[in-house]
Amino acid sequence: MDPPASLKKEWALTREAFDRLLGMFDMDRERAGQKYESARLRLVKFFQWSGAIEPDVEADETLNRVARKIDEGANVYNLNAYIQGVARLVKAESLRNPLRKHLDIEEAYDLAATIDEDPDKTERRVCLDRCLGNLPDESREIIITYYENEKGIRIKCRKQLATRLGITPNALRINAHRIRMSLETCVRECLAHCS
pLDDT tens, residue by residue, 142-188: 888 887 767 667 788 888 888 888 888 888 888 888 888 888 888 88
Residue 1 has pLDDT above 80, yes or no: no
pLDDT tens, residue by residue, 114-142: 434 444 556 777 888 888 888 888 888 88
Split at pLDDT 50, 70, 90, the class of 67 is very high
Q: What are the C-alpha distances in Å from 47 to residues 7, 68, 127, 179?
A: 28, 20, 32, 21
Nearest CA to 59 out of 88, 100, 26 is that of 88
Our CA dihedral for 37, 39, 43, 45, rounded to 10 degrees, sits at 70
Separation CA 132–CA 135 (nearest Å): 5
